A and B are shown apart, each in its own frame.
Chain A
Amino acid sequence: MFGEYSLSELASIFAMQGFSGLILFSVFVLMALGLAIIYGQMGVINMAHGEFMILGAYVTYLVSRAFGELPHALFNVYFPVAMVAAFLVAGALGAFVEWALIRRLYRRPLDTLLATWGLSLILQQLYRTIFGAREVGVTMPEWMMGSLKLSDTIEVPINGILVMGIAVAISIAVGVMMHRSSWGRQVRAVVQNRTMAGAVGIDTERTDRLTFAVGCGIAGVAGSAFTMIGSTGPSSGQLYIVDTFLVVVFGGAASLLGTIASAFTISQAQSILEFFLSGSMAKVLTLLTVVGILMLRPQGLFALKLRK
């Protein structure tokens, strides 16, 4: 399959596909971080995670429309505002859903799965009713468009670089929060032993609500970043949810570093294979490899080694 390309062409193909793989990786990481917090830390399988992401995308769309009415100079900075708004709106909805639905189902994983799947259908229909079935796109300010020419055959899009930057920043922020803040310490304590966490003085219900809200908020930021590389429709979230679960399980549910490593592996494999094979063959190969590795290592790539 490499036969018809010259060596320098191949190098460029790998570089460009590698880069588009990195953009995919960034979206995966942003989606998977929220999911890893919720699934890895709380054991809740949130089937509506994709819809929280799309909520962030719609919020970004609304904010960009609102800024479109304002003077041109302000439009250039709509994106950071939209990202914060997406985090807050998705997080608030997350906190409400946790309070109204999830907390009643903590010891029933299958029921949470069904309930959040139902929630995802409700949200999708809600988006369809409010925003219409057609996909919407945001107009990006000029500085976010175009691409950087690295050589004659290699170009990288600026919005892609931005998405990557956001992914890196959010990953670092989540890592710091998990391992340096008292909230992170409480979350990790609750994950390991809910009863005991309560018995050392941690308000486990509050911790759960906050954790779910932060996970959903990060999904909202993912959605915000998503608007830069794709258009938003009511069911766009569905396209990513399976891949995202794959990333979280493959990475080892409780490990944020594992999540990042697995997002990287899967997105790169997919993106590079996609160029040479058809999209579905690329997916089949990636999935087979992941399934194979998971059969050998059911705990995922990264798991803590501890005395039992």
Chain B
Amino acid sequence: MLKIANLRSGYGASEVLHGLDLELAPGEIVAVMGRNGMGKSTLMKTLMGIIPAMGGEMSVAQTPLNGLKSHKRVAAGVAYVPQGRMIFSALTVQENIETGLTVTGRREAPQDLYSMFPVLWEMRGRRGGNLSGGQQQQLAIARALASDPKTLLLDEPTEGIQPSIIKDMARTLKQLRDARGLSILVSEQVLSFALDVADRIVVIDNGRFVHEAQRADVDAAAVERFLSV
């Protein structure tokens, strides 16, 4: 579904990602693990067109993404939940979700989005900025889903979220995958969450994938070594 080949990217003249290869099957959840500064967010932003790629190929469902503006990538089927959630704080919850509808041409958010996140239905008239962190995270996911994506990118979704909600989130993501056949690429530092949610784990270190394992074969100690500071 999502395919990247020899992807290189970075900021200004300094290269951060040194040629990444990865392929996500439809309905597969892959976790990219790594410490701060190893290139997780850079990968997400490059896929989303927020920072330009320096080389390599990326595509979603055979549509090449290279050089496309962000909104064209959304239309091609990529959706993005950024680090820090970045919801539109002055817009209401409902309006936040509706911003995601732009590429679909629909006027109203499908009801199953709200049934997936009932708290958003209760809060639909409140401003996004007045929600708690966990609610904002749900809102950011719902907003991303409103564009009917084929691939969902989640950048450190557990950051600053309380443990009980992290559990819920893992369950929701798996339900989503089952219901919609969505491929999900999630970057993460918390190994327990990654093991809970992902089918496959890749470890990124200094802009290179250095380790890869199916969930069943993950050597937790080996992965921990890449995560500890």
Contacts and interface: CB of A to CB of B under 8 A. Distances in A.
Contact of A186 (B48, B99, B107, B144): B99
Contacts of B103: 201
Interface in A186-200: 186, 188-189, 192-193, 195-200
A183 to B, nearest CB: 10
Interface in A172-215: 182, 185-186, 188-189, 192-193, 195-205
A304 interface: yes
A179 to B, nearest CB: 9
B127 A306 contact: yes
Contact of A196 (B69, B82, B102, B147): B82
Contact of A192 (B69, B75, B91, B101): B91
Interface in B63-122: 69-71, 74-75, 79-80, 82, 86, 88-91, 95, 98-103, 107
Contacts of A203: 69, 71, 102
B61 interface: no
Contacts, number: 83
Contact of B74 (A185, A193, A199, A307): A199
A307 B102 contact: no
B165 interface: no
A202 B50 contact: no
Given A197-B99, A199-B82, A200-B100, A306 B90 contact: yes
B99 A185 contact: yes
B129 interface: yes
Nearest to B70: A198
Chain B: number of interface residues, binned into ranges: 20 to 34
A192 B89 contact: yes
Interface in B28-87: 48-50, 69-71, 74-75, 79-80, 82, 86
Q: Is the interface of A mostly helix, strand, loop or mixed?
A: helix
Interface residues of A, number: 22
Contact of A307 (B80, B89, B100, B143): B89
Interface in A146-183: 182
A189 B91 contact: yes
A201 B50 contact: no
Nearest to B98: A185
A184 to B, nearest CB: 9
A304 B127 contact: yes
Interface centre among A186, A199, A304 (most CB of B within 10 A): A199
A193 B99 CA distance: 12
A195 B70 CA distance: 8
Given A185-B95, A199-B82, A200-B102, A193 B75 contact: no
A192 B102 CA distance: 16
A182 B86 contact: no
Contacts of A193: 86, 88
Contacts of A204: 71
A254 B88 CA distance: 14
Contacts of B107: 182
B130 interface: yes
Contact of A306 (B80, B89, B143, B147): B89
Given A182-B98, A189-B95, 10 more contacts: A186-B102, A189-B88, A196-B88, A197-B88, A200-B79, A200-B99, A201-B71, A202-B99, A205-B69, A306-B129
Interface of A: 182, 185-186, 188-189, 192-193, 195-205, 254, 304, 306-307
9 contacts: A185-B98, A188-B90, A198-B49, A198-B70, A200-B74, A200-B100, A200-B102, A201-B147, A254-B90
Closest 7 CB pairs of A and B: A201-B74, A198-B70, A306-B129, A201-B103, A201-B102, A196-B86, A189-B99
